[in-house]
Structure 1
Amino acid sequence: MPEPRTFRDEPVSFVRRSGRMSDAQERAFAELAPRYLLTVPRDVAFTSVHPDARLDPASAYGRTAPLIVEIGSGQGHAIVSAASSRPDHDFLAVEVFRAGLARTMLDADKAGARNLRLIEANAPEVLSTFLPEGAASEVWIFFPDPWHKKRHTKRRLVRAGFPATAARAIAPDGLLRLATDWEDYALQMREVLDEAPEFERAFEGEWAERFDGRVMTAFERKGIAKGRDIRDLVYRRIQPA
Structure 2
Amino acid sequence: MTNPHSASPDTSDAPSLPEEAAKPFMRTIKSFVKRAGRMGSGQERAMAELGPQFLVPYQPSAINFEAVFAGAAGAEAPNDAKRPVVLEIGFGMGEATAQIALTLPGTNFLCCEVHEPGVGALLKRIGEHNIPNIRICNHDAVEVIDHMLPLASLDGVHIFFPDPWHKTKHNKRRLIQSPLVAKLAARLKPGGYLHAATDWQPYAEQILEVLSAEPKLKNRALPNHPELAGYAPKPHYRPLTKFENRGIKLGHGVWDVVFERV
TM-score band w.r.t. shorter chain: 0.7 to 0.9
Unaligned runs of 5+ in 1: 42-51
Q: Distance between the aligned counterparts of 1:219 and 1:170, measured in 2?
A: 30
TM-score by length of 2: 0.80
Q: Distance between the aligned counterparts of 1:154 and 1:35, measured in 2?
A: 37
**Bigger radius of gyration:** 2
Structure 2 counterpart of 1:174: 192
Query: Could you list the per-position Cα deviations for residues 28-68 of structure 1 after superposition, in whole angstroms to 9, with x for gaps in the alignment?
Result: 11111011111113xxxxxxxxxx32211000012411111
The worse-fitting range, judged by mean Cα deviation, of 151-160 and 180-189 is: 151-160
1:93 correspondence with 2:75:
no
Q: Distance between the aligned counterparts of 1:119 and 1:167, measured in 2?
A: 20
Post-superposition offset of 1:13:
3.9
1:220 correspondence with 2:251:
no
Q: Distance between the aligned counterparts of 2:137 and 2:250, measured in 1?
A: 32
CA RMSD of aligned residues (A): 1.9
Query: Could you list the per-position Cα deviations for residues 65-114 of structure 1 after superposition, in whole angstroms to 9, with x for gaps in the alignment?
Result: 11111111111122211222322211111111111111111111111111
Q: Partner amino acid for 2:188? A: I
Q: Partner amino acid for 2:8? A: E
| Contact 1:163–1:198 (8 Å) recurs in 2 | no
1:56 correspondence with 2:26:
no
Q: Distance between the aligned counterparts of 2:187 and 2:246, measured in 1?
A: 31
Q: Distance between the aligned counterparts of 1:13 and 1:149, measured in 2?
A: 18
Q: Distance between the aligned counterparts of 1:165 and 1:128, measured in 2?
A: 8
TM-score by length of 1: 0.87
Counterpart of 1:213 in 2: which secondary structure?
Answer: coil
**What is the correspondence of 1:225-236 to structure 2 with a 5 Å cutoff?**
225-236=249-260
| Contact 2:104–2:237 (8 Å) recurs in 1 | no
Structure 1 counterpart of 2:8: 3
Q: Partner amino acid for 2:236? A: D
Post-superposition offset of 1:237:
0.5
Q: Distance between the aligned counterparts of 1:189 and 1:19, measured in 2?
A: 29
Q: Distance between the aligned counterparts of 1:71 and 1:39, measured in 2?
A: 16
| Contact 1:127–1:168 (8 Å) recurs in 2 | no
Counterpart of 2:44 in 1: which secondary structure?
Answer: helix
Q: Distance between the aligned counterparts of 1:227 and 1:125, measured in 2?
A: 37
| Contact 2:31–2:89 (8 Å) recurs in 1 | no
How many residue pairs match? The answer is: 226
